[in-house]
Amino acid sequence: MKKVYLDMDGTIADLYAIDQWLTRLRNEDTTIFLECAQMITQEELFKIFPQEQYEIVILTMTPMNCSKEYHNQVIDQKNAWLDKLFPQLTKRIFLKYGHNKNLKNSANAILVDDSEPIRRSFRGIALNPATLW
């Protein structure tokens, strides 16, 4: 079974469409991630990556330079958002901002991420969500 690492912000969660998103992150807003609109539904995602063939793992980062407390709050917010909109995606990895997304099996995996620099540095197959949905 092929592993798919799926980013959240700008990939399945439309964080960047929220007014003043960067200011709100810098101010450690405790609700912003709960306000994100979906960019794809769970059903649409499973049509592209059928569960019989792919193991989907959320691989997302918390905001740059955030406090440890906010890091933990963001994880809680993102988990709540995922539980509501993508309840079948239970495998989740939360990294601090700037952490390399290459994991031990990345060469044999697929990454779906809106960030071009992250896609370029990934050792496996890296896809832009804009080409998928």
Domains of the chain from N-terminus onward: 2-131 (3.40.50.1000)
pLDDT at 111 over 90: yes
Which pLDDT belongs to residue 103?
84
Q: Are strands 54-61 and 2-6 parallel, antiparallel or unpaired?
A: parallel
CA distance 54 to 89: 12
Cut 0.75: pTM above it: yes
User: pLDDT tens-digit profile of 59-104?
Assistant: 999 999 999 999 999 999 999 999 999 999 999 999 999 888 988 8
Apex 128 CA angle, 124 and 131, nearest 5: 125
117-122's contacts with Cβ under 8 Å and 24+ in sequence apart are: 118/7
Tell me the percentage of the chain whose pLDDT exceeds 70. Answer: 100
H, E, C per residue of 4-34: EEECCECCCECHHHCCCHHHHHHCCCCCHHH
